[in-house]
Every structure is written in structure tokens, then in C-alpha cells.
A and B are shown apart, each in its own frame.
Chain A
Amino acid sequence: MSIFSYNGAALVGMAGKDCVAVAVDKRLGVNQFQTISANFQRAFQVSERCFVALGGLASDVQTVHKEIAYRMKMYSLREEREMEPKVVTALVASMLYARRFGPWFVDPVVAGLDKDNKPVLAGYDSIGAKSEAHDFVTGGTASDQLFGLCEQFWKPDMDADQLFETISQCLLAAVDRDCVSGWGADVFILTADGTVTKKTLKVRQD
């Protein structure tokens, strides 16, 4: 057991053609045997074209989200523009690395669309080692399962519908084999025209 599996989480970001999606579970638990909530929010729209999803210790998930939101507001006040997704990925990395010797126990995934509608995806460890990906990023306690699923099911240039089905099937199959995540799921799809579609999935409640 590690502090990372205390509350449980599953998160995945996936790139499509001119679209990007994030899928997260909604369980908030205490170890394996108690579930506090089946409606815990761990994916946040931090700007018009960027999402941050956070796994790990729930209190840190909320604190880190607040910190990111604060810094992005300060940025837009100073700069009079929204932060680009690419900049968000750098912000998260340096925020986490500042606490290299007393980290937040979070496992972040950043997904967004840049100006040219190219997907921006980044995954991190808890101290801010960023890994950028062109295909998919995973996080949380179900990340092993998600890696296997995404390697099998991800394909290049998916449209928004196909991307939704693929990312949803990946998340659902993953949380069914992880006992500390699941109990509900949200999928966010960002498309080139600037719309965000949030879909709540039907998930096993066990």
C-alpha cells in the first residue's frame, strides 16, 4: 500500500484528429473497504482548451487544482490572455518540482488542444518529471491496466466519436480490474470548434 492508493484513481488522456479527450473515474475511497463518494471530481477544465486531471491523495488533488487555478488566473491578469496548454504542462512540472523534497501526492495528466488544434498531452510523476506523448497518457492506481488497454486500442487520427468510444472502453475495462477506482466515470472531449462535451458513463458500482 502506498499513499497513492489510499483514495484510488484512474485517469487517461487520449489524442484524436483535431480533438483530445480525458477520462477519469469518480470514486473517493478510504483504502479498499470504504467508499466515501462516487461523485468525486478529479478532472478540471483550467482554460477553454485545456484540462488537468489529478490522481493520488484526494486532499492534494484539490489543493493542487486550486494552486493551478490561482496561478493561471494570475497569468491571465498579467498577460491579458489565456495560458496555452503547452504552458500549462510546463507550469505543472515546475510547480511539482518546487516541492521536490516534500511533494504533493498527485499524479497529474494534462490534455489540451493548441492553436493549430494539435493535441497536447503530458503525464507526470509526483515530483514533476514530465513526459509528453503524441498518443495517450495514463495515471492513477489503474495506470498499468490503462497502459495495456491503450497500447491495444489507440489508433492514430480518430474522430471525436471514435475517440470517445475508445477512451471510454479503455477506462471502463481498467477500473473493473482495479479495486480502488471506478464507481462512475466522466469523459471530456475537446474538439477543434471549441466545444467541450462531458459524458457521464454507466459504470459498475462495486
Chain B
Amino acid sequence: MPVDYVETLVAQKGAGFVFDNYQRNQFLASSDPQAFKMPDLKKTGTTICGVVCDGGVVLGADTRATAGDIVADKNCEKLHKMADNICCAGAGTAADLEHTTKKFAADLELMRLTLHRTPRVGTAVTMLSQHLFRYMGYVGCALVMGGVDPTGPSLYMIYPHGSTDRLPFASMGSGSLAAMSMLETGYKDDMTIEEGKKLVSEAILAGITNDLGSGGQVDLCVVTKDAYTMHRNIMAPYPRTRIPKPVMFPTGTTTVLEEVKMLKGRLEVTDADVEMRDA
């Protein structure tokens, strides 16, 4: 039995989280708790969901990322490709989702290369849930993961603390209630992929419309035995209502005190104003 992949995993041990700043930050926090408030981390106050269909799974997500009450990104990607047969939709802390899914996508690929087998969805779920359990919920990932493997199509939910569910349909994020209302109304066993796409779109649309944390466009991902198909921005339900009348500031509107042209490796001062000394 080949075990050389163990060496690959051992070689990666140097990487991982760095806690160098932890003590300093704790000190800052204790010196002035008033001044020290952790800032708004980028969250994907999200709607994500998925449905198992006949011969495949359909996953969906909205595209809004928020920082507090401001939209930080109007068109981010929340559907992450884990492998050629597995897709993962993420809700929660944006940084955790982005990096955790990327790490496990790499791990799954290494595993595929060493074992010469397509990874199973259950394997990916176990890997992620063990990671999240280890970090006791501090890695803020709420996931809906789906894919097709030799056991057929399957869909899982993974919570930030590491618990998992296997379900025929699932939703997560701040818009999960809106999405679930559509899924509970429309779900049937053994739907066709097209029916599944329609249901998932409607569920995400419900989240976009009714949840303030969700918005933007609808992304869909369809995984079948033969293909992994990403439908980015398949639906743009609420286009911008007004394009602002373009404002052309005439050249020279802004006062420039000094202008320096940096040509490749050479400095050239083209216009130095003396206004600062006059003032």
C-alpha cells in the first residue's frame, strides 16, 4: 500500500496559523478595552442552498459580501470548487471560507493524485468537519457541500463547530430561512436537474429579496456524474435602478502641489509648486 502521501502531509507541517501577534493584541485589548474593538470582519451574510436531484446535485449562492452595514463586494463568489466532482457553498466569515475551502481543495487534489481515486464527498466532509471541530467554531465556516461519487449524488451541511448533516436539500446563512421556505414548498424526490436549478434559483432569489445580508446575483453549480458546471450570475434579479449622470471633472480641477514622473528607474520632476511655502 502506498504511503508516500503521508510524507507530503508531513512536509506541509511548517505552514499554518501564526500566533505571534496574539499576545500583543491581548495587551492592546487589556490596556484600553474602549479603544480596542475588533473591526468589522468581512462576512458573507449569505444565502446558500443545495438540492439533490436525479443523478446530480445543484448548489446555489448569492454574491453579496458585507462589512457591517456596508456592501463590501457586490459580486463575490461563494461557490467553491473542491474537486472535479465536489462543490462547496460557504456562509460566514469571508476570509475563513476563502482560505479553508482553498486548503481542502488542495488537500483533496493531493489525495486524488496519491490514491488514484476521485475523492468521495463524505471524505471531504469529514476532513472539513474535523478541521472545524479542532478550531471550536472560531473558524467561522457554515457550509453546504454537494457532489457526485461512486455512491451517487449526496449533499451535506457542515456547521462552524464541526457537526454535519446529510440531507436531500439544505440551506445556510442569514437568508437560510427565506431559502428554506422555498425549498420546503418546492422540493420533490428525484427532480430533474432542470427542476433542481429552478428550485435553487427561486430559493436564492427569496434570500436576496428578503434578507438584507444577501444580495446581488444568483450563482448556480451543477454537479453530475459526467460534469461540473458553474453558472456564474445566472440571474440578475435587481439591476441597478439608476446609472448616475457621468460627472466629467475638467483637467486641472484638482490643485497639484508637486508632480513627479517615475519612468522606469528614473525620477523626473515635471512641476514643483511653491504654494506650500507661500501658505
Q: Chain A: residues with CB nearer than 8 A to chain B? A: 1-4, 6, 31, 45, 48, 93-94, 96-105, 123, 125-131, 133, 143-144, 147, 151-153, 155, 161-162, 164-166, 168-169, 172, 194-202
Contacts and interface: CB of A to CB of B under 8 A. Distances in A.
Contact of B257 (A4, A169, A202): A202
B95 A100 contact: yes
A126 B67 CA distance: 11
B258 to A, nearest CB: 4
Contact of A101 (B17, B244, B251, B264): B17
Nearest to A63: B21
Contacts of A126: 39, 41
Secondary structure at the A interface, as helix, strand, loop or mixed, is mixed
Nearest to A148: B70
Interface of B: 16-25, 28, 34-42, 65, 67, 70, 72-73, 76, 93-96, 98-99, 138-139, 244, 246-251, 253-264, 275
23 contacts: A1-B34, A3-B36, A6-B35, A31-B35, A93-B99, A96-B95, A99-B18, A99-B19, A100-B95, A102-B23, A102-B25, A103-B25, A125-B41, A126-B39, A131-B76, A153-B244, A161-B251, A196-B262, A198-B260, A199-B259, A201-B254, A201-B256, A202-B255
A15 to B, nearest CB: 15
Q: Which 7 pairs across A and B sit closest by C-beta, in order of nearness?
A: A129-B94, A102-B22, A102-B21, A129-B95, A131-B73, A165-B249, A202-B255
B257 A2 contact: no
A96 to B, nearest CB: 8
Contacts of A197: 259-262
Contacts of A151: 244
Kindly name the residue among A6, A102, A133 whose own CB sees the greatest number of chain B CB atoms within 10 A.
A102
A41 to B, nearest CB: 14
Contacts of A123: 72
Contact of A202 (B22, B73, B95, B275): B275
